[in-house]
Structure 1
Amino acid sequence: MGLTNCILGHYLELCSNKNTDLVYGIYDVRGVNNLKQLMPTKADLNGRDLSKFQIVNSGEFVFNHRTSRNGSKFSIAYNDNADSIICTEDYVVFKVRDDCKEILNTRWLYMFFNRPEFDRYVITNSWGSSTEFYNWEDIKSIEIELPLFSIQQKYAKVYNAMLENQKSYERGLDDLKLSFEALIDEYKHKAKKKNIGSILQEVDCRNANGSITNVQGINITKQFMPSVANTNDVDISKYKVVKKGQFVFSGMQTGRDECIRIALFDKNEPIIISPAYAVLEVIDDNILAEYVMMWFSRKEVDRLGWFMSDGSIRTNLDMDRFYEIEIPVPDLDVQKLIVEIYNVYNVRRDINEKLKSQINDICPILIKGSIEEAKKTKEA
């Protein structure tokens, strides 16, 4: 028989390994996002008792049982790294029972979880009032169609091969970033510094005839995005025009976000942005706009912007303070070299993100393929 109807909980075991001896510290803490991945935690760990945190060993699963306000997705991850991590005691950690590891393949199970169909199932079956939950008992009660172990392995190997290719590409990306950062740090200490006020100036070109209708904003990742503001009945002739090679800057809430909100527009067709933003362009022919943007992409500059923010509730970075920021400016040829490496890194980073997305997208296909093959085996 190639396919068995079963209850998932028969093959699973709850884990409760606490970090009692504090073997793992702050840098080992991970959270779980709705992309089914482990990630460095965003929580404030000051004063937290890490001895109460749970250890997630290699080959174990961890999930957040809160499903409310989570993008209609279930946050569950599989630790496929060699090293153990720790997570908050609010999470649930489990594994495939040792005596069932030749019945249920852990990678196949992760692919089963990593499907839109499973997210919809969990959200539909979550319970609660203001906060909804999907708990350990709910996981255990899931009914699944389980293919033969050999079929599970076959499809898991396809996934593992794709994952290894992606991770190999990512390791190369990390090496490129390391060499790039080393080059930046070298010139940071020996190139002459200039303040932003001597590099950029504000321009104010309005969409007077209303011909441009593409309204954009910028986010804390320093990228342009479609405006989330309601522009119905708004006079877009007052909006500012942004052309290729120009910057958009907003000093609002720099301290709160610990980020200087600035982006470089690199498209041919101009856009418009809210009059609340500032549009800037380079005024020094010996400085590349891409080089300036590269510096504003560094965390150290964001931290400086946070430090220079005012003490108001909004913690804004005023324009005059923004102009005081200094960046090192090497010769133009050196800037071109640095920008070229930086652009290659960005292209490869985007490719890596696409590879990861493709791996996630293939999970439903592989699970469906394994079940269909098992059905054919059963018929034969």
Structure 2
Amino acid sequence: MALTKIKLGKYIELYSEKCNIPNLTNDQVSGVNKDKEFFEPSNQVGSDTSKYKIVPPGYFACNLMHVGRDVVLPIAYNHSKINKIVSPAYQVFKFKTNCELISEYFFLYLKSDERDRFFWFNTDGSVRDGMTWDDFINVDIELPTIEIQQKYVDIYNAMIENQRCYERGLDDLKLVCDAYIEELKHNIPCKVIGPYLKREDIRNGKNGSKNVMGVSTTKEFREPTSKVNKDELSNYKIVKPRQISFVQTTHNEKGFCNAFNDTDKDIVVTSVNEVFSVDEEIVLPEYLVMFFNRPEFDRYARFHSWGSARETFTWDDLIKVKIPIASKNVQQSIVNVYKIYKERKSINVKLKSQIKDICPILIKGSLDEGRKTKEV
């Protein structure tokens, strides 16, 4: 059989079930990120969420109005066994039963920069550069047979399962680290950390570093999410190697966002962040960061935050924190486990990136096989 050219609209069924829950919280709502995955958005949900939409397992959610803004088609497939909830801005759909297109194959088809550029090129040119639903369902795609589609979906799923097994091992390592600190809390006295911290406020200056970073909700330094003029960094604060920076606000971030500079280069952060060093004769900064990065400390920071408009956990709040200060040898032993966790976490990120890069290769392979089938 030859490759079959179809229009998406022939096989798509729109779905619009409202959740009818007026007061959803952030952790109950999903957004779609640039990697085409559901995630928990950091921005606030609407005051009335009853019109938010349900995305059942096996369904897609797509926000066509953001194609031009992000030069990415924000679409995700619900691989899970539970419903997702998204804002009314999303279109929710599935593919008809027993049609010529497998949902997972379509998801693979979309995971490439080339496809994103195609959808971006077909935006309507409005202020928000959105793509209309009619344009979306009129997209032509070529398909191999169902059997070939399934073959390449199975290859992808096998890679994903291997990556997830690796990720579950990461969770076990993190559990070991957290459990160790929890045990220390019950076995040795906790001390106020203020005497072992030094507040730093070194400004970048006119000809300083261009290595500007933000502090993410994943408690790491990351590229800034907003545009930063790298020619105007003089007032930014310097985070030297082995120093820690944290974000004082906790409401939108839903926790204590901090990051440890474990590189050999200076990092510059916004002047509203706090920066400090640690007396390493008493406390290893890695050990302190491990304490900060537990869910229990996020709850502590939220509870001790103040302010109505923006809840903040300040320097004065931080220096009052009590932690179990074990001997340097004990600290180092648990830090060694934590370093293994961080290294493997980095490998896991690379695995995810490699799998994404393989998706276009799988699609090309399936189409080539479909054409060869015709020749035979």
* Fold conserved between structures, TM > 0.5: yes
Distance 2:83 2:272 in 1: 47
The answer to whether the 8 Å contact 1:248/1:263 transfers is yes
Q: Which moved more, 1:168-177 or 1:307-316?
A: 307-316
Identify which of 180, 183, 191 aligns with 1:186: 183
The answer to whether the 8 Å contact 2:61/2:92 transfers is yes
**Shift in CA distance, 2/47, structure 1 to aligned 2, threshold 3 Å:** same
Distance 1:240 1:80 in 2: 42
Q: Corresponding residue for 2:75?
A: 76
Local SS of the residue matching 1:133: coil
- CA shift for structure 1 position 10: 1.6
Residue-pair matches, total: 370
The answer to whether the 8 Å contact 1:255/1:307 transfers is no
Distance 1:30 1:313 in 2: 24
Q: Which moved more, 1:78-87 or 1:114-123?
A: 78-87
Establish whether residue 287 from structure 1 lines up as the match of residue 291 from structure 2: no
Q: Corresponding residue for 1:58?
A: 57
The answer to whether the 8 Å contact 2:44/2:252 transfers is no
- CA shift for structure 1 position 42: 4.3
Identify which of 104, 117, 120 aligns with 1:120: 117
- Give ranges in structure 2 of 5+ residues lacking alignment: none
Q: Corresponding residue for 2:341?
A: 345
The answer to whether the 8 Å contact 1:255/1:305 transfers is no
**Shift in CA distance, 191/17, structure 1 to aligned 2, threshold 3 Å:** same
Q: Corresponding residue for 2:373?
A: 377
Question: For residues 264-343 of structure 1, what are the structure 2 equivalents within 5 Å?
Answer: 264-270=260-266, 279-283=275-279, 285-306=281-302, 308=304, 311=307, 317-343=313-339
Distance 2:203 2:228 in 1: 19
Q: Corresponding residue for 1:3?
A: 3
- CA shift for structure 1 position 15: 2.5
Distance 2:30 2:250 in 1: 26
**Shift in CA distance, 117/324, structure 1 to aligned 2, threshold 3 Å:** same
**Shift in CA distance, 296/233, structure 1 to aligned 2, threshold 3 Å:** closer
Establish whether residue 36 from structure 1 lines up as the match of residue 40 from structure 2: no
Distance 1:249 1:86 in 2: 31
> What is the one-letter code of the residue matched to 1:93?
V
What is the CA RMSD across the aligned residues, in angstroms? 3.6
The TM-score normalised by the length of structure 2 is 0.81
Fraction of identical pairs, as percent: 38
Identify which of 127, 141, 145 aligns with 1:144: 141
The TM-score normalised by the length of structure 1 is 0.81
- Give ranges in structure 1 of 5+ residues lacking alignment: none
**Shift in CA distance, 125/302, structure 1 to aligned 2, threshold 3 Å:** same
**Shift in CA distance, 263/124, structure 1 to aligned 2, threshold 3 Å:** same
- CA shift for structure 1 position 48: 4.0
Local SS of the residue matching 2:65: coil
Q: Corresponding residue for 1:164?
A: 161
The answer to whether the 8 Å contact 1:215/1:226 transfers is no
Distance 1:262 1:140 in 2: 44
Distance 2:180 2:253 in 1: 28
Distance 1:174 1:160 in 2: 21
Establish whether residue 104 from structure 1 lines up as the match of residue 104 from structure 2: no
Local SS of the residue matching 2:73: coil
Distance 1:276 1:82 in 2: 41
**Shift in CA distance, 218/44, structure 1 to aligned 2, threshold 3 Å:** closer
